[in-house]
Structure 1
Amino acid sequence: MSDNSFESVCIFHILDGLREGLSHFSGNSRAALVYAPRMDSPPRIYDPQGLLRGHEPRLMEHYLGSDAWRAPECTSSDVTFLDESEYKDLQLAGIIPFGGRSRGLQYQMWFTEEHPDMCSLGPTRRWMEYAVRLFAQNYELQNVRNVDTAGYVLQNCASHAIRDYIVDARSEMGFLDTRIRVYPFLDAVLGISRTKEEGAWPRGRLVVIEPDDLGLVRFICRFPQNERPRLTDFKHVRKMLQAVEYSGRVLVSDGRDIVGIAIGAMPGAYLAAQFGGSRGSLMLKDELVCTFTDGNFHSRNLKANLVQLEEILLESRLEMESQHQMMRLVHALVNRVRDRRHGCTLILDLGHMLVPTAGQRFEVPPDLREPGQIKLACSLAKIDGALHIGADLKLHGFGCLMDGRSVPGENRGRGARFNSALRFTAENENLVVIVVSSDRPVSIIQNGIELTAACDWRQMAGCPTPPLLADWLEG
């Protein structure tokens, strides 16, 4: 197999594995690569799904307008990762870059999407670090039988990426000599999250403290050394979590056993898992590292993504203060409804004249800016039908029905709420409908179109030779 042919196959499998793995971790994700085998080589690009389209001027300036990205020849077979300053120089909005240099591959820079609802970029960067290492190693070895394996490895790296990020972050905090093993903790978090007790999902907080810092913990009670539940005994730990549900108390572990129950601030660079039913959050001190649900880790936070609504409000005739209050009210309503695991529909009527809706009305519409009215609205959201909220931030009706003529884009798999919202907004201007499903997805619909629809990127096929960056920039 020629060098160019192997290069194409190697890049295809590694990028496809990276893209597939990150899509499971963060939602639909694309990936791209800019590389130069030698420092005098012209840069090449592989961007099969158009991730870097729209950034052509900055790429041209960085790679073709300057040689600052080139460096003295790297003679080490081990990979040297690029400095943070080199990522900042690129200045690509919404893109996460990560790259390195090695003897066999003098320059490589990988790119993927920075989703707006990501908890932390750390695990994704560690994931891209694996891609850098695998590309450098396989490019130097030139063994085509290893390439397939490299792609499969990158598809299932969530726990490894999270573990490596936590270890690196704790090292930067000064915890180089640690007795906490992160892998067993991550396994325990997923194992406990999948374990029901009397039909209920786990709730409560589990904290892992460095054994040397246990003396600084404010324990309510401690368990005898020989009677402590093992962290690996998921069923036992799940039962113990019942003692800290809906309280300020936490289960404290030394990384191996459950030491006791405590309250107050925790010392050191502790790890924490907050169980909230069928989902939860993984923390390093006060930093949200990732979330977990359905037995898997994810980079997405647990908050509703309402970016499209914010853009709609900015283009509306509402005053800035009203826009801010509307966003605050919708965030509160959506997140409370999602936490209670029932769906609802919100009709945001942004026009001066309210659109007539068939539903239950009030003698005096409650002002949702007043204390306590949000809780009332959340309770009314349980009733079949939609909440009708006006531009005056008042609740004008509940249990409202939506209907209209059939429109393109209807999906029987999405249920009556979704399809009714498509029809209703298609026939009424100045309306935005927010559909919150009981399984947590949030859809924002306007003019008969779902603005939050995920884009299905075309699948990559074949192993084309990556073009020169200069040719790619020309179109």
Structure 2
Amino acid sequence: MWEHQSLFRVSAQLFAEGTFNLLDRNLRPEVFLLGLAQGREEDDPQSVVVEPTSLRYSPAEFAGIKTLAASFEASDLSPRDNVYHLHPQDHDRIEKQHWYELVCKATDQVLQSIVARRGENRRCFCSTPLSLNGYLVVVVLQLAADTYNSYYTLPGKPGPNRTCSLPHAAVLEFLHECTRALREADTADNEQPVLDRDYNEVLRGAGRRLMLRVSPGNAHGLYDACLGVAALRHEGDEGRGTMLLGRRQHAAIVPVLTLETPVPLRDHRSIRKLLELTEGSTGLVSDAAHVFGLGHLVPENAPQYEPLATVHFTNHYGWELRHAGHTLMRVVSNTPRLPQGKVQADNFDRVIRQVFPDIDDAGVAYLWELALEASNQSHGTMLCITAGAKPEAERLRRQCFRVVPRPMTPPVLRQATSIDGAVMIEPSGVCYAIGVILDGQATEKGDSSRGARYNSAVRYTSSSPYPCLAIVVSEDGWIDLLPSPQHAAVAQPVVNAAGH
């Protein structure tokens, strides 16, 4: 298609990994390019180009996309043909854009069919085609379907301008950035598309898209207004409170106190002061442009009930966007993230039995209770379950606090994890050391993008002579189950999907 297509595809792949790994590493993004020759018949072997050529999909599988798009156009009953455009260039531009949208729809349908036929655990997204050197170039992004679908989505059919979740908003922002880079390459002299946007900035753009979706009115400044309010203190206290997003006099909102003059949402200091009035289910009522007063939702069994989006200010620089009791997005220091992960019972049960085959149901339930307590630590911690807890506590005596052996309980674990280092217990639950600084040989399974806690756990479990499982809770909300590979059937780190 063009000289630097391989370079762009690799850049887009790295760009996708950098962006989506900040949300959930289990999304496993994969990017490839699809080129449809504009001047060739579909039976021509060169009519479809796939980059990379080593992709598991063959060009022949996409040969019927333009025919399918034409069939969509023939069945299109919209009144768009009745619109008269004064300037012929406007008419051509609109017709071309409509055709590109049909090609995008056809490409998506073909991809879904291929994935379903092969039984792949992939969710496909594709960009609107861009004309480049005689080809319609489509950027295709695939994510792990089970992980993507595990997050709560807003009701209604998603679309290019109608996001349903933070991962979906990030997909739209990513594809938009790829299309921008391709468009600039088409006009640049060197023809080398540049994808150099900061990953966190991509997620901020996704957060703004999501706020637009849940807003009842003009919400172009809603995301930044929430940032401004969360950054302020009132008489030294952090901002805590709730804001309901609904149109004025919404039937599902019971007014408690109505302001005579609505306060603009851009007046951050006034909004921060009014936030002190909120308590429990009663919050500020806003249409994303102004705050009208205080109110609360009617009960769920009321006929006029409707789930509304709410913004919960949790701490200094921190707030959350929720809908119908589900957290859509957490924002910390202007950085959108998905809700904190929780260890899933079935996943934990599977992994713990692989590492310790002799453990019984009561033992699994006991360790599960401890794992839940560890996952609730917001500052990050680590629980190391190893068959060699006693000799390892002796070996690491200079880099831990050895304790008189005792069965660990959730309340004691909560206290023991308040200091740095791991809590080391046997599969029976007996604790031998706290504040353990784990060691181990360097391994290729390390991840430079993760912190010291995660990488030390990887090194320890990879080189431990005893069966062991490390539960790593990071400060950013990630929770990893790291089994010792030589004692488990699954050697890869197991990252739990976010709970809701």
TM-score clears 0.5: yes
Change (3 A) 1:68 1:248: same
Letter matched to residue 379 of structure 1: Q
* 5+ residue gaps, structure 2: 74-94, 152-164, 300-304, 395-401, 496-500
Question: What residue number does 1:261 align with?
Answer: 294
**Distance in 2 between the 1:147 and 1:218 partners?**
58
- Aligned position for 1:71: 67
Measured at CA, do residues 14 and 355 of structure 1 come closer, stay the same or move farther in structure 2, by a change above 3 Å? Answer: closer
SS at match of 1:291: strand
- Correspondence for 1:271 among 309, 314, 319: 309
Correspondent of 1:98 among 103, 122, 126: 126
Asked whether the equivalents of residues 127 and 179 of structure 2 are also in contact (C-alpha less than 8 Å), the reply is no
Shift of 1:102: 6.8
Counterpart amino acid of residue 254 in structure 2: R
Deviations 1:198-251 (A, max 9, x none): 6654333322112241x43123x324222x443222333334334446x33333
Change (3 A) 1:15 1:211: farther
In 2, the alpha carbon distance for the partners of 1:12 and 1:420 equals 31
Query: Which SS does the other structure have where 1:183 is aligned?
Result: coil
Aligned residue number for residue 468 of structure 1: none
Deviations 1:228-276 (A, max 9, x none): 443222333334334446x333332122222233334585463322333
Q: Which residue of structure 2 lines up, in the alignment, with residue 173 of structure 1?
A: none
Spell out the pairing of 1:305-454 with structure 2 (5 A cutoff).
Answer: 312-316=351-355, 317=357, 321=361, 325=365, 328-338=368-378, 341=379, 343-349=380-386, 357=393, 359-361=402-404, 365=407, 374-382=410-418, 386-392=422-428, 394=429, 396-397=430-431, 399-400=433-434, 402=436, 407-408=441-442, 419=456, 422-423=459-460, 426-438=463-475, 440=477, 442=479, 444-447=481-484, 452=493
Equivalent position SS for 1:71: helix
Q: Give the structure 2 partner of residue 35 of structure 1.
A: 35
1:102-117 correspondence to structure 2 within 5 Å: 105-106=135-136, 108-114=138-144, 116=147
Q: Which amino acid counterpart does residue 434 of structure 1 have in structure 2?
A: I
Relative to structure 1, is the Cα distance of residues 136 and 415 closer, same or farther in structure 2, using a 3 angstrom cutoff? Answer: closer
The alpha carbon displacement at 1:186 in A equals 1.3
Structure 1: gaps of 5 or more residues:
171-177, 367-372, 455-475
CA distance change for structure 1 residues 294 and 11 in 2, over 3 Å: closer, same or farther?
same
Deviation of 1:350 (Å): 5.7
Name the CA shift for 1:442/1:8 in 2 (closer, same or farther; >3 Å). Answer: closer
2-structure distance, mates of 1:295, 1:444: 29
**For 2:288, what is the secondary structure of its paired residue?**
coil
Identify the match of residue 105 of structure 2 among 78, 82, 96.
82
Distance 1:441 1:336 in 2: 11
Greater RCO (Cα-Cα under 8 Å, separation 6 or more)? 1
1:206 is the counterpart of 2:224:
no
1:295 deviation in Å?
0.9
**Partner secondary structure for residue 220 of structure 2:** helix
Q: What are the Cα deviations for residues 418-464 of structure 1, in whole angstroms up to 9, with x where unaligned?
A: 6488458734411222343556555555549996599xxxxxxxxxx
Q: TM-score, normalised by structure 1?
A: 0.67
Partner of 2:187: 143
Task: Give the counterpart of 1:252 among 247, 268, 285.
Answer: 285
Q: Is the 8 Å Cα contact of residues 434 and 444 (structure 1) preserved in structure 2?
A: yes
Aligned counterparts of 2:454 and 2:33: Cα–Cα separation in 1: 41
CA RMSD of aligned residues (A): 4.8
Counterparts of 1:285-300 in structure 2, within 5 Å, are 285-286=324-325, 288-298=327-337, 300=338
SS state at 1:195 partner = coil
Are the structure 2 counterparts of residues 209 and 94 from structure 1 closer, same or farther at C-alpha, using a change threshold of 3 Å? same
Letter in 1 for 2:292: V
Is the aligned partner of 1:303 residue 2:341? yes
TM-score (norm 2): 0.64
